[in-house]
Structure 1
Amino acid sequence: MERLCTLDDIPDGGSKGALPGSRGRDQVLLVRQGGRVYGYVNNCPHYDRAPLGWKKDEFLNGAKDRIMCSAHGALFRIEDGTCEIGPCLGQALIPIRITVEGGQVFGEI
């Protein structure tokens, strides 16, 4: 597993990108809900693998209750990455196995 960030780096109820690729785009998105962190590959399953965030570390809709694709507004459940609204309805984000230990967030792609 690779260290992605500290738990404190992700605001509770917020999101963060991790593992910048060769062009600086974060390869992983993280969402924190209390002590639980959910992780997904930063690619929309519908729109040519487009990144989801609309700006750095912003992957959630206004209500902060769904992950949102900035390319076409698809909304995904935080708990399992399944699309509930949008052109990729029923498809899902690719999950990352996440472990939180000693305040550190680790992930395995």
Structure 2
Amino acid sequence: MIRLCSIDELQDPGSKGFHNERGHVFAVRKGDQVYVYENSCPHFGINLEWQPDQFLDSEKRLIQCATHGAQFLIETGECIAGPCPGDMLTVLDCEVSEGVVYLK
């Protein structure tokens, strides 16, 4: 497993990007849940954020691609608005153990 961060480093709701041997990934926290995705928009295959760690829309309810405005559900990674409706972010298996977020 790859250690990403302490869960306390993620705001609730909030997001944080990482680069490791698995590539560019990001984690999103919503309540007690943490979701991890590949940092790649299904529309163009580019990173989602312009500013470090800013993967959520202004209301922190959806994941948003900064380039094209595509919006994705935090819980599933499904695109619900923008240029690629129905497409999915690539979900990565993660685990929170003793307050630390790990990529499996």
- TM bracket (short chain): over 0.9
State, as a whole percentage, how many aligned pairs show the same letter.
44
Question: Residues 66-77 of structure 1 correspond to what in structure 2 (within 5 A)?
Answer: 66-77=62-73
Question: What is the aligned residue count?
Answer: 103
- Please give the root-mean-square deviation of Cα atoms over the aligned residues, in Å: 1.3
| Structural mapping, 1:27-66, within 5 Å | 27-47=24-44, 49-66=45-62
After TM superposition, what 4+ stretches of structure 1 lie above 6 angstroms from structure 2?
Answer: none
The secondary structure found in structure 1 opposite 2:13 is: coil
Q: TM-score, normalised by structure 1?
A: 0.89
Distance 1:2 1:92 in 2: 23
Q: 5+ residue gaps in structure 2? A: none
Out of 74, 80, 87, the position equivalent to 1:78 is 74
Counterpart contact for 1:68–1:75, Cα < 8 Å: yes
Task: Determine helix, strand or coil for the equivalent of 1:62.
Answer: coil
After superposition, the C-alpha distances for 1:19-65 in whole angstroms (9 at most, x for unaligned) are 257xxxx7111110122101100000011x11001200000001111
Q: Which amino acid aligns with 1:65?
A: R
Instruction: Supply the distance in 2 between the matched residues of 1:66 and 1:86 (Cα, whole angstroms).
Output: 12
1:72 corresponds to which letter in structure 2? H
Match of 1:4 in 2: 4
